[in-house]
Amino acid sequence: MVTIGQLAVEDFSLARSGRLNKLLEWVGLVDSSIKGYTKRSLAIIGVTWVPLLILCIFQDLAWGNRVDMTFLKDFATHLKFLLVIPMLIFAEYFVDHRLKELTEQFFKSGTLGEKELSVYDRLKKRIKKLSDSIIADWLILFVIISNIAVRWLKNVHQASTWLVYPDTQGGSISWAGFWAIYFCVPIIQYLLFRWLWRWIVCSIYFSKISKMPLKLSPAHPDKSGGIGFLGIPPAPFLLVTLAMAISISAMIAEKIFWVHDRLPTYYPVIIGFAILSIVINVLPLIVFMSPMSHQRRQGILDYSTLIKRHHELFDEKWIGKTDLSEFLGSPDASTTTDLNSTFDTVMGMQIFPFNLKTMLYSIAIAVLPMLPLLAFEYNWLDLLKKILGMLI
């Protein structure tokens, strides 16, 4: 039997959008199964990383000593195209699954009812249209094209690399360098910018849901009015955050290894990204502050009135009595305790559907790929000895 929640999320997808998705659909690579995402990842690797390797082999830049950083030594490139790109592809499945799960829970828990289904259907169509906006794709394309020349001038000549073929004139762009700058890098940038747009659309999606007539319960034990499930890890964009963290970590490692930068130089970048990870995974939920704060305030007033009336009746019934034999075994005192406990729950209701644990989870995912960078700055054995010395 199909539930109202399952009916609501039928055909819902935030990720299956954009011109790249249309192209993959045209060549038969759009499949929502794990096998389909694997084929899609391998196809993109096949037109990015594989040609780079072949072109570098032809120009003797894949290994050897023609340049300092041969293609096989460029671990940042391998991580980006062999790990980050598949993660960004598989994130489509993860985001869609998580958003469907959260949306279904709104209806399953009764926070949204059957009469809100028609309003939600209109919202779903609008979100689909926004996520598939051609204007967003053109804007992304403009940013990518504008960035190509700047990226080439800023990054290519900092080290002897496979991107530049050494010659008597001091070096010219290699075949692989041309393919990387004008095809491969734009693809990974497109994937990242598409996820930025999807994040914006997701924020709009939650914003519209927050304005619907939500049936929140201030006495709910999750202390979030019954929508605390929104803040339960993993957040929808957690895999995207992890992919970005790996990419940034790889680029920092490359700068330290080849350009001889120091890790402390990048501490502000690492801290900034940790803060950004919180924004990515928590900010879309801020929109629920208004209905939650309103429900908390109304709940305090309603339960305060109820408890006051209950306690007045309790006093009228029992205070001043000399014979308390009937009081023994009476549920009245227990009811008073239960109401007081319920009021404490109402007073403790949060105005956001997330807590410190949610934010720490996001920070951990952002910082975890950065930890190997400490090997460039510290001796792991000495560091472990110092830590054990402080503990023991």
Render each residue's pLDDT in the chain as its tens digit; 392 residues.
Answer: 557 767 677 778 887 777 777 777 777 777 777 888 888 899 999 999 999 999 999 999 999 888 888 999 998 999 999 999 999 999 988 998 999 999 999 999 999 988 888 899 899 889 988 988 888 889 998 888 887 766 655 554 456 788 888 765 656 888 998 899 889 989 999 999 999 999 999 999 999 999 999 999 999 999 999 999 998 888 889 999 999 999 999 999 988 888 888 888 999 999 999 999 989 999 999 999 999 999 999 999 999 998 888 888 877 776 766 655 665 556 666 787 788 888 888 999 999 898 777 788 888 888 899 888 887 777 767 767 766 776 66
Asked if 193 and 292 sit in the same domain, the reply is no
Asked if 252 and 338 sit in the same domain, the reply is yes
The amino acid sitting at 313 is: L
Asked if 236 and 203 sit in the same domain, the reply is no
User: Is the peptide bond between 234 and the residue preceding it cis, with omega within 30 degrees of 0?
Assistant: yes
Q: Which of 215, 244, 272 is the last residue of a domain?
A: 215
In a domain, 321, yes or no: no
In a domain, 93, yes or no: yes
Q: Range of 88's domain?
A: 1-215
Query: What angle separates helix 117-131 from helix 185-210, to the nearest 10 degrees?
Result: 160
Q: Which of 155, 190, 215 is the last residue of a domain?
A: 215
The amino acid sitting at 287 is: V
In a domain, 251, yes or no: yes
In a domain, 322, yes or no: no
Overall number of domains in the chain: 2
* Helix or strand run (H / E) with residue 143: helix 134-155
Asked if 63 and 209 sit in the same domain, the reply is yes
In a domain, 324, yes or no: no
| Residue whose entry in the numeric block shows the structure tokens 């009746």 | 313
Asked if 193 and 236 sit in the same domain, the reply is no
Asked if 186 and 233 sit in the same domain, the reply is no
Asked if 256 and 200 sit in the same domain, the reply is no
In a domain, 49, yes or no: yes
